Amino acid sequence: LSNKGSYFLSQTDYQKSVAYFFRALEISRENGSKDKEASVLGNIGIVYLEQANYEKALECEKQALKINEQLGSKNAIAHNVAHIGLIYSDQSNFPLALE
């Protein structure tokens, strides 16, 4: 499901992309797979970022970041922080983007 979500994201079909990602999120939560949950939340954040829905993008990325911090996943944390920086940059909030 995540792969299909990524495919539709690459095709800029955001409606289908987010539908697949939300289904993948539901399954990862049912299975208790925190690393997959965080990954999918980050992907959903990217979809929202592409649509300039910055509030929802930040919400997803911050949720993913919190999970990755709990898991101690340094690479995933770096990705989340970078995405959060991009969101703030797109909003021209450069002090927060740099932070």
pLDDT at 80: 96
| pLDDT tens-digit map of 5-35 | 999 999 999 999 999 999 999 999 999 999 9
Name the residue among 78, 15, 84, 93 with its Cα closest to residue 45.
Answer: 84
Q: How confident is the model at residue 85 (pLDDT cuts 50, 70, 90)?
A: very high
pTM for the structure as a whole: 0.91
Torsion over CA: 59, 64, 70, 75 (sign) = negative
Q: Report the C-alpha dihedral over residues 37, 40, 46, 49, rounded to 10 degrees.
A: -50
Cβ contacts of 70 within 8 Å, gap of 6 or more: 34
